[in-house]
Amino acid sequence: MTTRMFQEIGEAGDAVARQLGHNEELLAGLGARLRALDPPLVATIARGSSDCCALYLKYLVEIVLCAPCASIGPSIATLYHAPMRLQGAVSVAISQSGRSPDIVEMQRAARRGGALAVALVNDVASPLAKEAEVLLPLCADPERSVAATKSMIAGLVAGASLVAAWREDRPLADAADDPSRHLRLDRDVPAARSACSLGRVRLR
């Protein structure tokens, strides 16, 4: 039996293609803005699978842009109410739903602290999306399976696209240019369905 998770993994290539097409102009504008701002720090705001996307973004920022990138725990805003000093920095919030109260509150705190708030969000009607200064939709459509699959892949691509636009790095941008080929799933292999049910599937 084909699981919902297996179906949504199979939608990842289309999701990435939609995202790259939809965000092309947004990324060009954001890249120019970031080059002009030249922020001394990038702060990420995420948890769960989205925090894995944030970790990938951290390495890209530090290797490609040579700027420090750090994750800020949402409890800094929700539990400790500590004011952030982020003048001139950029905050990048990453979320599938955009509705987790702690992530939304941390983005607000980052904005109050002076950061340019960028959000990579799947649900563009969510509070996180609406309150961001710059929104880059993930374009993965609703995701119902657990754990996250297509939105996780879309979040990774969005982070890479952001850094590519910022640095005007054509090879990095080209790396995600053909998602239908790179994210092809062999739907005819019975073992793939079995692996999917356990959260393990091969992408080729």
Question: If the chain, 204 residues long, is cut into consecutive pieces of 10 residues, what is the mean pLDDT of each piece?
Answer: 80 90 96 98 96 97 97 95 96 96 98 98 97 97 83 94 96 76 54 38 35
Query: In Å, how far from its chain's centre is CA 35?
Result: 20
pLDDT tens digit sequence for 174-204? 886 666 566 655 544 443 343 334 333 333 3
Position 69: which residue type? C
Pick the CATH number of 4-197 from 3.90.1170.40, 2.30.300.10, 3.40.50.10490, 3.20.20.60: 3.40.50.10490
As to burial, measured by CB atoms within 10 angstroms (0-12 exposed, 13-18 middle, 19+ buried), residue 202 is exposed
pLDDT value of position 184: 55
What's the rounded Cα separation, in Å, for the pair 166 and 29?
A: 9
What pLDDT is recorded for position 199? 38
pLDDT at 192: 38
pLDDT, tens only, 28-53 = 999 999 999 999 999 999 999 999 99
Between CA 135 and CA 193 the distance in angstroms is: 35
| pLDDT score recorded for residue 2 | 77
What are the domain boundaries of the chain?
4-197
Q: What proportions of the chain, in percent to the nearest 5, are helix, strand and coil?
A: 50, 10, 35
On whether the pTM is more than 0.85, the answer is yes
> Could you tell me if 39 and 88 are in contact, meaning their C-beta atoms sit under 8 angstroms apart?
yes
Give pLDDT, residue 124. 96
Residue with the two structure tokens 């790179």: 182
β-pairing, 90-95 vs 42-45, is: parallel
